[in-house]
Amino acid sequence: VYGVGLVHDGEQIFATRHLQRELATLIERRIGQGAFGPGTPLWSWLSGEVAPARHAPMRGLRAPRPLTEGQREVAELFLGSNLTAAQGPPGTGKTELIGNLAAAALVERVRGFVDGGRMDRGPMVVASTNNRAVDNVLEPLAAGDWPGPPLGLRVGNLEVTATATVELIGRTLNWLEAHSTDAVTAEAALDAEKAAFNGAFEALTDADAPRVRALADADRQAELAERVAAHEAALADGPADAPTLRPLLTEAIEALTGLVGKLESLERVLDGRRTEVLATVLDRWRRIAKR
């Protein structure tokens, strides 16, 4: 870390000038309330009050090729935290990671619909100062060779709206018209697809259980370390002969590290089954989509 400050002139940068305007608008809307309140990514970024990073299981896959271990770690942090940043040079899989996160978001939304009749969570928004970067993520989700309707909607400036947005909405309407049927037949088909989804999701959950337990243990270890560090900081301001919690921290971390190691060994044993389950899930969804 070097003590050098860099100052950018926002008036000379087109994207930054618009960003400044949008942030000013958000401030006028009283950030801290409603959709901009504590716990949201925007609040974490602007206030500096970032919630501790945690993990959530990754249960979406855009293509048969699995995520690398590094990509999956970032994905699980993204799903379990308010704010996550992934950085890397071209070709390291950032766009592929976003596509898989979109698949995970879709799985969670469908899961909410299957369980409670309503799509869970909100839509996933992909934004960039680079139009090509957004296209790279959206194109596989809206590809014409997919038998179902587009899974993503490309929006943007007037040119994008007049071309890509209109085309995708038109394809969606055509698909709905081509697949319209009577209510009884549609309900029976929906029930069958719900049952197929539940079966696939339960199989995936069972195969993923060891990793989920390992993630939970790692998060508990991190939480314990954070709490002990806070106590250590408080004790640092006390008398010089005040007791230290460092031995407790060391003992707890050693115990949890051993447990995590055992769970990771079990996960490696089950890796073959996980691949088999994912292949079965993808095959089922393809057969359903072709009906």
Q: pLDDT tens across 141-161, in order?
A: 887 667 788 888 999 888 888
What confidence score (pLDDT) does residue 8 get?
57
Encoded tokens for 12: 């000379």
- Please give the residue range of the domain that contains residue 208: 181-291
Q: Assess if residue 285 is contained within a domain.
A: yes
Query: Is the Cβ–Cβ distance between 33 and 54 less than 8 Å?
Result: no
pLDDT at 166 over 90: yes
Q: Please, is 53 exposed, middle or buried when counting C-beta atoms within 10 Å of its C-beta (0-12, 13-18, 19+)?
A: middle
Residue 71 lies in a domain: no
Q: Which residue has the higher pLDDT, 6 or 165?
A: 165
Q: What percent of the chain has pLDDT over 70?
A: 73
Whole-number Å distance between alpha carbons of 215 and 209:
10
CA distances from 253 to 2, 51, 72, 176, 230 (A): 32, 22, 23, 55, 16
When the pLDDT of each residue in the chain is averaged and rounded to a whole number, the result is 79
Confirm if 43 and 34 have CB atoms less than 8 A apart.
no
Q: What pLDDT was estimated at residue 1? A: 45
Binning pLDDT at 50, 70 and 90, where does residue 268 land? low
pLDDT class for 263, splitting at 50, 70, 90?
confident
Please answer whether residues 56 and 32 qualify as being in contact, where contact means their C-beta atoms are separated by less than 8 angstroms: no
- Provide the domain count of the chain: 1
Q: Does residue 245 lie in a domain region? A: yes
Say if residue 227's pLDDT is above 90.
no
pLDDT at residue number 199: 92
- Side-chain half-sphere CA neighbours of 30 within 13 A: 2
DSSP 199: H
- Higher-confidence position of 151 and 284: 151
Task: Please indicate, yes or no, if residue 154 is contained in any of the structural domains.
Answer: no
